[in-house]
Amino acid sequence: MSGFTTADIPDLTGQTVIVTGASSGIGLETAKALTAHGARVILAVRDAARGDKAAATLPGPGTHEVRLLDLASLESVRSFARDWRDQPIDLLINNAGVMIPPPSRTADGFELQFGTNHLGHFALTNLLLPHVTGRVVTVSSNVHRAGRMDFDDLNWERKKYRPWRAYGQSKLANLLFTAELQRRLTEAGSKVLAMAAHPGYAATNLQAQSGSKLMEFGMGTLGNRLLAQSAAGGALPTLYAAVSDLPGNSYVGPSGFAAMRGAPAACARSTGASDDAAARRLWLVSESLTGVTFPGIQQR
């Protein structure tokens, strides 16, 4: 693969990174690359046993810790943030996500994809932001192009649940969140950068959450074999957004065939993901739903 590779990651000795959803797939590959370059990586995971198993595969010279975090529970998010204390965070990587599950709700009653992929990370980021010194990288998807923010029914309480549309809305929310976060950081005089990335089509277990054997075979077994790049390849856009010289609110993805694979590069987002008014509206709605607001932060 030409272009950016893990060999281009600088020495991260002394830097602390949080990676959500780091027990498998792209999150685990991201954690591996960062520890290999000296970072201290916090694997924020729902399942401690799976987290410990994943942590055992991480290379040195960096170090790692496993901490429990369930993004589908605001109490879990708040507990994780409370336990953080005053340690600086060089990188916060919002990687965890769910994809096209059957109709499901979070512990707080939100539609599972919107609640986990967006609201959980929204709350986590704002609660940890006073400690962040470098970047916030949020993993979206090019499926955001099919998403639409239905502000009258964000949680699919009145209309018929459509898993792909709900997924697209949650991934569109990731990009609107990134844009508004960067706007607020800039306005506050902060040097912290908000970035977004998408993995293209990567061979992970994310496609195995639909509850449909046909869907899992088509997207997982068959799609992974014929079209997908490896999980390690899918992690490269996240890593590129985390360490490369890019402006805030950059969106990074594979530059190869149909944006599904290939070396990472800055890429375009949909018109809907560039709607500043929608980004501000989503932020205010998210504050109301989670009870978490943008913190007062020192310039840095």
Local structure of 191: helix, strand or coil:
coil
Which token pair is 271? 């018109």
pLDDT of residue 73: 98
CA-based diameter of the chain, in Å? 51
Contact call for residues 72 and 140 (beta carbons, < 8 A): no
pLDDT of residue 300: 45
Which token pair is 135? 């970047």
Give CA–CA dist 103/5, Å, rounded.
38
Instruction: Give the residue numbers annotated as catalytic, written as ranges.
Output: 167
Characterize the bridge pairing of strands 193-197 and 132-139: parallel
Domains of the chain: 12-290 (3.40.50.720)
Mean pLDDT, contiguous 10-residue spans, the chain (300 residues): 87 98 97 98 97 97 98 98 92 97 97 98 98 98 96 97 97 98 97 97 63 50 62 96 98 84 92 98 98 76
Paired strand residues for 68: 45
Give CA separation, 228 vs 61, 198, 256, in Å.
Answer: 30, 13, 12
Which token pair is 204? 């992970």
Q: Which of 95, 126, 121, 96 is nearest to 110 (CA)?
A: 121
pTM, two decimals, is: 0.91
pLDDT of residue 206: 60
